[in-house]
Amino acid sequence: MADLFQDKAQNWDAQERVRSLSNGIGTALLNRIAFSESMQVMDFGAGTGLLSGHVAPYVAQVFAVDTSPAMLAQLKAKPGLQGKVETLCQNILETPLNQTFDVIVSAMALHHVEDTSHLFQQFAQHLKPGGQLALADLESEDGNFHPPEAEGVFHAGFDPQLIQSLLKQNGFEQIVFETVHTVFKSGVAYPIFLVSAQLPKP
């Protein structure tokens, strides 16, 4: 599979817009989820590990799952994440992991997966009973957030009602939405949501 982030990886963290977005999502995530030091967490579409870095100090281990070797190479080179963040270069929609997690987090990766319902089904299968999900991505947008030539972009943001109904269909409850950040591009505001949800407790 071609690495669509090969050319972006090296300068990913140098972008002020990316860092500010990650800080906005990371701060909201830490306010929303009560992380604890025994927890195993998956960061889906972890990229260079910006979100993993927010969560790692508060949990036992973060598993940074991504299909881009180039993005994960940037993560692996960060001394502050070593020993706490393990990388897995795998498409869990095609090859699920033989492991379950207490929490799955994700920032700005949902719009890169075509079949959102299948993704949520996989999330449910990768969570322990009572496990939590916290996902951040674009709210429905005008289609101009990404340049027209961008590959691997399947959604122009998401309608919260659709996300809510897909989460319910895949067994999630206690669904909470909040707009946690706004990205400004060419004078247009692009709101970013954080949705959290939970599987039923045993």
* Cα angle: 2, vertex 195, 57; to 5 degrees: 75
Torsion angles phi and psi, residue 117, rounded to 5: -65, -40
User: Which of the stretches 47-55, 142-150, 169-177, 183-191 binds ligand SAM when contact is defined by CB under 6 A?
Assistant: 47-55
**H/E run at residue 177:** strand 173-185
- Which is nearer to ligand SAM, 5 or 35 (by Cβ)? 5
Name every residue whose Cβ is closer than 8 Å to that of residue 61 and which is 6 or more positions away in sequence: 40, 41, 84, 85, 86
Segment 60 to 119, residues that bind ligand SAM, using CB under 6 A:
65-68, 71, 91, 93, 107-109, 112-113
CA dihedral (98, 166, 155, 54) positive or negative? negative
Shortest Cβ 159–ligand SAM spacing (Å): 20
| Residues in region 11-40 near ligand SAM by CB under 6 A | 18, 22
* Smallest separation, CB 153 to ligand SAM (Å): 9
Chain contacts with ligand SAM (rule: CB under 6 A): 5, 18, 22, 44-47, 50-51, 65-68, 71, 91, 93, 107-109, 112-113
